[in-house]
A = this chain, B = another copy of it.
Amino acid sequence: MKLRELASLIHGEIIGDESIEITGASGIREAKEGDITFLSARKFLKDLAGSGASCVIVSEPLPDIPVAQVKVPNPQLAYAKLLEHFYVKRHGPAGVSADAYISGTAQIAEGVSVYPFCYISAGVSLGKGTVVYPHVFIGEDSAIGEDCILHPNVTVRERIRIGDRVIIHSGAVIGSDGFGYVFDQGVHHKIPQVGGVIVADDVEIGANVSIDRATTGNTMIGSGTKIDNLVQIAHNVKIGKNSLIISQVGIAGSSEIGDYVTLAGQVGVADHTHIESETIFGAQSGAMGHVAKGIYSGSPGMPHREWLKARAVFAKLPELQKKVRELEAKIKELEKEEP
């Protein structure tokens, strides 16, 4: 494909030879001749020199580089489109396999694919264009929207509602029982978990994620929120829109998390925590109580800048202790010298 055609696909302005042939798209370090790549930040400029790319997508033209450039407002977004263009093959709908189990009361819209060994329970509905890969289980009366992808070995329990364009990766479990017990006479009695889970549109759920159903009411994941692998979301949690929940985060029961929140890897959120919108928690930090909008680190979390300073002193605590001992000795000396 000629560069001029590609550039028009991403509405970009060409700087250089528009007639060159582009045969693929790739990250800056892996790109080879014929590839188009992108520059997301100036810190990656050093990688460009060693890159084999024939063309680079930029937001600001670079003065002295030997390869063609395409200028767009958001290079990474343009790159994402080109990855899709070059590499993502859409299969037509595969239909409903005779080797799947489909309840007679399930409602399957047109253009749905259900692969062998899926189990679709009574009262389930699958929206138009949704793809259900092998070994997926969908429990009674659950509703899956349109154009969803359920990867192999996903479990969606009963009475779960999933919106449109939701992607669920392999091993994820939606609607397992919340961890609720009442202690009486020396044993833990199970509290029936009879609520559900509502997953809004455009959510992506990573591999081996667990999202528990509510005790009563619903656990809720807001539209556009993206959840990475191995995340735990407990019963009655509510997450807002367009938040990012990175791998191995654990969110305990009844916590509420706003819109555009980022929880970095391995963050722990205590139960009944409330995190305001646009808040960021750094990796391995802990959240509890009411958390005002801000950036936090440490466990329990504290404002990131304060944590940085405290952490810097922590690393030098032995010196500080030594210093205090020296001062102590000097003061003793001074006290002795007193008349």
A interface with B by C-beta (< 8 Å): 25-27, 29-30, 74, 76-77, 79-80, 83-84, 86-88, 99, 101, 115-117, 119, 133-135, 137, 139, 151-153, 155, 157, 167, 169-171, 173, 176-177, 179, 181-182, 184, 186-192, 194, 202, 204, 206-208, 210, 212, 215-217, 224, 226, 228-230, 232, 234, 236, 242, 244, 246-248, 250, 252, 265-266, 268, 270, 283-284, 286, 299-300, 302, 306, 309-311, 313-318, 320-321, 323-324, 327-328, 330-331, 334-335, 337-338
Contact = CB atoms under 8 A, between A and B. Distances in A.
A230 B335 CA distance: 60
Nearest to A180: B80
11 contacts: A134-B137, A177-B204, A210-B229, A229-B232, A247-B250, A265-B270, A283-B299, A284-B286, A314-B317, A331-B334, A334-B335
Given A244-B188, A320-B320, A327-B324, A173 B176 contact: no
A290 to B, nearest CB: 14
User: How many copies altogether?
Assistant: 3
Contact of A210 (B137, B202, B206, B335): B206
A99 B204 CA distance: 32
A284 B268 contact: yes
